[in-house]
Amino acid sequence: MGCTSCATGANGQPKGCKNNGTCGTDGCNKLTVFDWLSNMSLPGNQEPFNAVEVRFKNGRKHFYQNPDKLSLSIGDTVATEASPGHDIGMVTLTGELVRVQMKKKKEVIDIPALPKIYRKASQKDIDVWQECRDREADIQKRSREIAIRLGLQMKLSDIEFQGDGSKAIFYYTAEERVDFRQLIKEFARTFNTRIEMKQVGLRQEAARLGGIGSCGRELCCSTWLTDFRSVNTSAARYQQLSLNPQKLAGQCGKLKCCLNYELDTYLEALAEFPKSDVKLKTEKGNAYCQKTDIFKGLMWFVYEKDGMNWHTLKVEKVNEIIAINKKGNTVASLEEYIEDVVVSSEKVYSDVVGQDSLTRFDRPKQSKSNRKKKRSGKRNSRNKKSVQGKGGNQQKGSAPKKGTSQNKKRRPKPKPKNNA
């Protein structure tokens, strides 16, 4: 199995993390390829391509030959040739797609020169491999402590044990050359195994460790992206992005790989636009470009002497004016070419949470005295409204009738006479 949570349980049944390839601890289906030729038969008597692709920890993949012609399918755990001993990996690709993958990675298609697959991994092989995997976290912590004690300017990012536990590969990043001869001696004495040091770049380190990007999804380099193309700031400039290094940098500290995803589309759209430093010659003076909208195909120009008023022109109109200027002529004014921009009304979305403001927690808390004043003010306003309402009702209503108890004066009651 690919990770600890997918390992077999006490009763021999697989646990199954049910993460469907998005496991944070080296998922079983990480960086897999869909075999779309699996249901197709080979033409004639052609033999299947006798090589397979095997994946190891954190997306490390290699090609191996299958000399014994074992019946292998995607997901099988196999024991492969290593130096020294053997390694344990998972088959990720078989058949003709392996040939296509080797051509894509510019590998020489020479099957006899490839390392061999010994056998399908037995339960004993998987148990030994799992024990080695369980030791990696503790050894990584101790190895970092040793590197700090020796004062080496390096960062140990990951450790990978070989399947039989005979060798451990330490992946590290460093800005300068590191002399780790003493470090290897310390590691070999402490961990009692063969040591191999491999320096990786910052992007490879982020791909091995994984994480969540600023978009809220898993990192592309740790899920599906296999080739790291160079990214520069011109990609952000073409897409009119803010040249803020904190927003353009990914978890590796380098420019985000996703800046290249839509770059070709932007370059095709920008092919119709003139340069941003273009100067339009008119009878009112020269006009300079201030803003460009690639999606709407609009450009905003201002006169040299009037920088407050912006004039919106379509790209076709701008190219027409440039063609006239190249002939040595000038146009009367930009107002003749202005494009009326229809401003779409913004949609107002109701807050289903309860019409609460998102910044309600940013407001400072009010003191008790201010609260009391507000409450007393609200009460006074309510009382005034009620008094005004009663007075208005009396004025609007009919006048009190005569003879009512309100207009009559109370007469004193006569005293009873005493009959002597």
pLDDT in tens, 398-414: 444 444 444 445 555 66
**Of the candidate ranges 165-169, 234-238, 327-331, 349-353, the one whose mean pLDDT is the lowest:** 349-353
In a 3-state reduction of DSSP, which class is residue 284? coil
pLDDT above 90: residue 127: yes
Residue 13 to residues 7, 8, 9, 16, 17, Cα–Cα distance (Å): 9, 5, 6, 9, 12
Q: What is the Cα–Cα distance from 78 to 336, expressed in whole angstroms?
A: 74
Q: Is the dihedral of CA 355, 357, 361, 364 positive or negative?
A: negative
pLDDT tens profile 68-120: 889 888 889 999 999 888 999 999 888 888 998 898 888 888 888 899 999 99
Which amino acid, residue 186?
E
Pick the residue with more confidence: 237 or 368? 237
Q: Does residue 5 surpass a pLDDT of 90? A: no
Integer Cα distance of 170 and 178 in angstroms: 14
Residue 200: is its pLDDT beyond 70?
Answer: yes
pLDDT tens across 245-275, in order? Answer: 888 999 888 999 999 999 999 999 888 898 8
Please state, in angstroms and rounded to a whole number, the distance separating the CA atoms of residues 296 and 317.
Answer: 14
- pLDDT score of 378: 64
Q: Which two tokens stand for residue 87?
A: 């390694």
Instruction: Check residue 30 and give its pLDDT.
Output: 56
Q: Say what the pLDDT of residue 84 is.
A: 84
Q: What percent of the chain has pLDDT over 70?
A: 73
On whether the CB atoms of residues 301 and 321 are closer than 8 A, the answer is no
Residue 330's pLDDT band, with cuts at 50, 70 and 90, is: confident
Q: State pLDDT tens for residues 306-325.
A: 878 888 889 998 999 999 99
Taking the C-alpha atoms of residue 262 and residue 240, their distance in angstroms, rounded to an integer, is: 12
287-296 pLDDT, tens digit per residue, is 999 888 888 8
Contacts of 157 (CB under 8 A, 6+ apart): 171, 172, 173, 200, 205, 208, 209
Evaluate whether 168 touches 139 at the Cβ level (below 8 Å): yes
pLDDT on residue 248: 92
Domain map (residue ranges) of the chain:
1-30, 45-121, 128-206, 279-337
User: How much is the pLDDT for 411?
Assistant: 59
Mean pLDDT across the chain: 80
Where does the pLDDT of residue 377 fall: very low under 50, low under 70, confident under 90, or very high at 90 and above?
A: low
CA distances from 299 to 168, 239, 331, 338, 403 (A): 59, 15, 17, 10, 85
Whole-angstrom distance, CA of residue 234 vs CA of residue 322: 26
DSSP 8-state symbol, 44: T
CATH class entry, domain 128-206? alpha beta
What pLDDT sits at residue 183? 92
- 134 vs 208, which has greater pLDDT? 134
What Cα–Cα distance (Å) separates residue 106 from each residue in 91, 99, 109, 134, 216?
A: 20, 10, 9, 35, 33
Residue 185 has pLDDT above 60, yes or no: yes
Range 155-183 average pLDDT: 90
- Which of 57-66, 67-76, 141-150, 240-249 is modeled with the greatest confidence? 141-150
Predicted TM-score (pTM) of the model is 0.62
Res 139 pLDDT > 70: yes
Instruction: Quote the pLDDT of residue 140.
Output: 92
Scanning 151-272, the segments in alpha helix (DSSP H) are: 181-191, 202-209, 220-223, 233-238, 245-248, 263-270
Q: Is the peptide bond before 84 cis (omega within 30 degrees of 0)?
A: yes
- What does the pLDDT read at residue 336? 81
* Mean pLDDT within 179-186: 90
Q: Check whether 227 has a pLDDT greater than 60.
A: yes
Neighbour count for residue 318 (Cβ, 10 Å): 24
What average pLDDT does this structure show over 123-138?
A: 92
State both tokens at 319. 């190219």
